[in-house]
Amino acid sequence: MRYSIFISLLLFSVLSRVPAAVYQEEVKYYDVEILLFENLEQNAANTETWPTSLEFEVPENSLFIGSPFPGPIPANYNPRFTFKPIKASTYQLQEEAKILNENKDYRVLYHRSWRQPGMKREDAVSVRIQRDVPRHIAASTSDDNAMTTEADELTANLPATNKLQGLVKITLSRYLHIQTDIQYTEHVIVTNSEDESLTEIKPQVYQLKQTRKMRSKELHYLDNPKLGLLVYITPVKQAATKK
């Protein structure tokens, strides 16, 4: 009996000297890279009927890369590796971006990489995307030269920029998961189905809203007829997170 009490007291003494951080689950960090591009082929936008507007709700638990963490940062997170931007010169998808930009049928809209902790679904933070994208001007053809004066005037009145906004959330359970809600709005010239002589300018919202299970160090692809998203996630070596 005395021996059991002695062992219990000894264990309590040893454990009480262990820093509290040891009891906390070790945080895994990941480098996340996303490459969003647009399909410029005319048929891509015509394969579906797109809404003219969509609600876009920004959750409180969201941030732009490089901006302050929303709320108190958890004590076991390393602030240096929590939603911090990664230098463009070290991007993993540079070759893919080059190939897309050199193809007349595609255009890169957004390319970004950041480091973040692996977060449970209930704690996960959404990364916000927001930028104005210059309107793409297609090369003119002989058919274009036959456009009516009305169409010419409509083209001249098209907004100079398209609007890109979105949310990307990475969560970690047994596997990595990505959740996206990306909206790309452009104004197009629409012909009246009942009277082809009537045309007008209308917005179209191309939404890429998907959830996908992922593996690190594998290239993943999400898309709709108008947008494509390449995602590459790399686990950060534990030694690097302790520097």
CA angle 106–110–111, rounded 5-degree value: 105
Number of domains in the chain: 1
Reported as type and span, the H/E element at residue 12 is: helix 2-16
Is 11 domain-assigned?
Answer: no
Provide the residue type at 48 as one letter. E
Is 65 domain-assigned?
Answer: yes
Is 20 domain-assigned?
Answer: no
Q: State yes or no: pLDDT of 63 exceeds 90.
A: yes
Place of tokens 């070759």: 95
CA atoms of 139 and 13, how far apart (whole Å): 77
pTM score: 0.84
- Give Cβ neighbours of residue 49 (< 8 Å, ≥ 6 apart): none
Mean pLDDT of 191-204: 85
Range of the structural domain that residue 86 is part of: 27-241
Instruction: Name the band, by pLDDT with cuts 50, 70 and 90, for residue 25.
Output: low
SS (HEC) of 54-102: CCCCCCCCEECCCCCCCCCCCCCCCHHHCCEECCHHHCCCHHHHHHHHC
CA atoms of 45 and 39, how far apart (whole Å): 8
Residue-level pLDDT at 140: 59
Is 6 domain-assigned?
Answer: no
* Overall residue count recorded for the chain in this entry: 243
Q: Percent of the chain having pLDDT more than 90?
A: 69
CA atoms of 171 and 169, how far apart (whole Å): 7
Is 16 domain-assigned?
Answer: no
Residue-level pLDDT at 185: 98
Is 21 domain-assigned?
Answer: no
Burial tier of 194 (Cβ tally within 10 Å: 0-12, 13-18, 19+): exposed
CA atoms of 127 and 167, how far apart (whole Å): 6
CA within 13 Å, CB half, 29 = 20
Q: State yes or no: pLDDT of 98 exceeds 90.
A: yes
Instruction: Name the band, by pLDDT with cuts 50, 70 and 90, for residue 150.
Output: low
Is 4 domain-assigned?
Answer: no
Mean pLDDT of 191-208: 88
CA atoms of 144 and 130, how far apart (whole Å): 32
What's the pLDDT tens digit per position in 151-190?
677 888 899 999 999 999 999 998 999 999 999 999 998 8
Cβ neighbours around 93 below 10 Å, total: 19
Q: State yes or no: pLDDT of 139 exceeds 90.
A: no
Is 5 domain-assigned?
Answer: no
The SS3 assignment for 237 reads coil
Strands 62-63, 126-134: pairing is: parallel
Residue-level pLDDT at 20: 40
